[in-house]
Amino acid sequence: MIIVTGATGRLGRKIVGKLLDHVPASAVGVSVRDPGKAAELGVRARAGDFTDPASLEHAFEGADQVLVVSASIRGPRAAGANAAAIDAAVRAGAGRVLYTSHQAASPGSLFDPARQHAATEKHLAGHGVAYTALRHGFYTSTFELYVPDALRTGEFRLPEDGPVSWTAHDDLAEADVLALTRPGALDGATPPLTAPETLDFADVARILGEITGRAVRRVVVDDEEWKAAAVARGVPEAAAEFTLGMFRAARAGEFAVAGPALEELLGRRAIPARSVLARMVG
């Protein structure tokens, strides 16, 4: 049986849907906090919480493979939660554990999640079971945080950034499914699974202007000025500092890698960021 965690989230739900194109529903199970929300998936759903190892062992029962979708927790607790899920998968007898990591996973990253992913990858590799750390490109869904204001004001007022290989959830979900169902396709820590194009927010502003026919300017704001404005709007200071880590890492070139691995695995072109933006603005 293949078990997928976080199956009611944006990525997990897509993974399960695509997985059912390859294997019967009887061969799939999901581990979620609220099984009732997973009923429409049509597979075995059991309660599993990364902070409750006993619940995970029940949720992972009978697993041949477990795909651990990384916890949506910030800070050092994230690596601990992910490690707990990996440990539970191994105890449940899974012969292979997969984990959704990040293209920039590194203990020295300026972006906190990338540091937590690196710690989780190290923990996973240390178990001695077959494993795959799926190094996902930076999700295009991040645009949703900034595009509405940019369209409303005509400006992206954001800290200095750098090129990012923005990658669509749909492509990454398909890649994860292929890793689960195509033996040997991806083993160990993968190459960056990214779209082939890198864009900074000046590029995004230009593309939005081309799509909408409205001028959208890119305005670079000092880090501390941006943080103060975000806090004044009600953003918790820790959350604002977390976001600054993304911009600092981007301008350091951490997200500028755009390799061929994803498209080679999919056997087609990756979804362009322009297409995601076009759908977003309707």
Amino acid at 215: A
Q: Strand, coil or helix: what is 32?
A: strand
Measured CA distances, 2 to 64, 78, 198, 225 (Å) = 6, 23, 34, 47
Structure tokens at 137: 């490109």
- Output the domain CATH number for residue 24: 3.40.50.720
**Structural domains counted in the chain:** 1
In this structure, is residue 221 part of a structural domain? no
The dihedrals phi and psi of 263, each to the nearest 5 degrees, come to: -65, -35
Give pLDDT tens digits for 180-214: 999 889 999 999 999 999 999 999 999 999 999 99
Residue 15 lies in a domain: yes
Task: Confirm whether 156 is domain-assigned.
Answer: no
pLDDT tens per residue across span 212-239: 999 999 999 999 999 999 999 999 999 9
Residue at 117 is within a domain: yes
Is the residue at 197 inside a domain? no
Domain for residue 182, yes or no?
A: yes
Tell me the pLDDT tens digit for each residue of 27-45. Answer: 999 999 999 999 999 999 9
Please indicate, yes or no, if residue 82 is contained in any of the structural domains.
yes
Range of the domain at 38: 2-135+167-189
Confidence of residue 75 (pLDDT cuts 50, 70, 90): confident
